[in-house]
């Protein structure tokens, strides 16, 4: 059977186009569509579905029929609930994009998507991950900023393929005790949370962002992050900088603006001479 591609992007459509053929890709990006037609859930050969930037409020449970889906984009809509049947989409691997909706809860069944590599649930109203989030072992990138998370389940530490995590603008104070198990982690953004300590000891980290938290100290153990290139601690309560920072030969950027730094360490110029871009403000 031959499959076609349907693209109707940015056309100010109010209704979904008629589906008179079988499609492998449908992109109705950037219109004014409010409802998805029943005919869509009969497109069993569909691999790519992009209905982002519309006015959609409901995903029908019959999405489970689209068992060949590899990529879904529901971003920038008005969706409040993800159906449990999404767990049937076992071929979904490329990405699931749910950014900028009104989702309050993730169904447990989403954790059945063990092949999924990219998940974006940012800018919603979600308070917790499913306890079985650790079953999503294919994840390489997770975007969950601008939600209401205040804790991560212990199983989160089973996501050992994760390379990038963004949990900025939540209510987190600590990470799970075994967070260091995320041995593939390269970039971590925890801006605008409520951390009081730098909470990471992941050996592969290249970039850490912890802007606008409540951190008052940089631990000497920061020297153990041998691959760290960028450290952003703007807007905290840090008063001193440990000499061990100088041991970070590969450090390219250190940003400590808007802290409570009391004095400028004498070795700082050596760090700059090595080519590290240093941003700091002093109390005096």
pLDDT for the residue numbered 14: 97
According to the model, what pLDDT value does residue 248 have? Answer: 82
User: Is pLDDT above 70 for 273?
Assistant: yes
Mean pLDDT (whole number) for 59-88: 98
> Please, what are the domains in the chain?
1-179 (3.80.10.10), 186-284 (3.80.10.10)
Instruction: Give DSSP secondary structure letters for 36-54.
Output: --GGGGG-TT--EEE--SS
Task: Write out pLDDT tens, residues 100-138.
Answer: 999 999 999 999 999 999 999 999 999 999 999 999 999
Measuring CA to CA, which residue among 63, 34, 60 is closest to residue 49? 63
Could you tell me where the DSSP H helices lie in the chain? Answer: 268-273
Residue 284 pLDDT greater than 60, yes or no: no
Helix/strand/coil for 145: coil
**DSSP track, 140-185:** SEEE--SS------GGGGG-TT--EEE--SS------TTGGG-TT-
Average of pLDDT values for 138-163? 98
What the block records as the tokens of 61 is 């449970």
What pLDDT does residue 75 have?
98
* 220: three-class secondary structure by DSSP: helix
Over residues 162-178, mean pLDDT: 97
80 has pLDDT over 60: yes
To the nearest whole number, what is the mean pLDDT of the chain? Answer: 95
Q: Residue 1: its pLDDT value, please?
A: 55
201 band by pLDDT with thresholds 50, 70 and 90 = confident
Instruction: Judge contact between 172 and 148, C-beta under 8 A.
Output: no
Convert the pLDDT of each residue in 237-266 to its tens digit: 999 999 888 888 899 999 999 999 988 888
Asked if residue 212 has pLDDT above 50, the reply is yes
pTM: 0.95
Q: Are 271 and 254 in contact (CB under 8 A)?
A: yes
């Amino acid at each position: 059977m031959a499959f076609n591609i349907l693209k109707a992007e940015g056309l100010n459509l109010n209704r979904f186009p008629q589906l008179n053929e079988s499609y492998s890709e449908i992109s109705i990006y950037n219109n004014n569509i409010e409802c998805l037609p029943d005919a869509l859930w009969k497109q069993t050969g569909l691999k790519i579905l992009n209905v982002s930037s519309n006015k959609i409020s409901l995903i029908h449970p019959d999405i489970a029929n689209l068992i060949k889906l590899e990529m879904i984009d529901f971003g920038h809509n008005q969706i409040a609930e993800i159906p449990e049947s999404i767990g049937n989409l076992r071929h979904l691997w490329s990405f699931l994009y749910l950014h900028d909706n009104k989702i309050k809860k993730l169904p447990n069944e989403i954790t059945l998507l063990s092949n999924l590599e990219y998940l974006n649930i940012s800018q919603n109203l979600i308070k917790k991950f499913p306890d079985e989030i650790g079953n999503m072992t294919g994840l390489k990138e997770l975007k969950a900023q601008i939600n209401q998370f205040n804790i991560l389940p212990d199983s989160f530490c089973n996501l050992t393929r994760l390379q990038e995590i963004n949990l900025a603008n939540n209510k987190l104070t600590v990470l799970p005790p075994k967070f260091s198990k995320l041995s593939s982690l390269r970039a971590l953004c925890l801006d605008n949370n409520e951390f009081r300590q730098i909470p990471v000891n992941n050996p592969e980290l290249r970039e850490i962002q912890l802007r606008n938290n409540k951190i008052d100290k940089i631990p000497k153990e920061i020297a153990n992050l041998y691959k760290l290139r960028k450290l952003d601690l703007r807007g905290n309560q840090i008063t001193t900088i440990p000499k061990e920072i100088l041991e970070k030969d590969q450090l390219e950027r250190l940003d400590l603006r808007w802290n409570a730094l009391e004095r400028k360490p004498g070795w700082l110029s050596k760090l700059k001479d090595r080519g590290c871009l240093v941003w700091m403000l002093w109390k005096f």
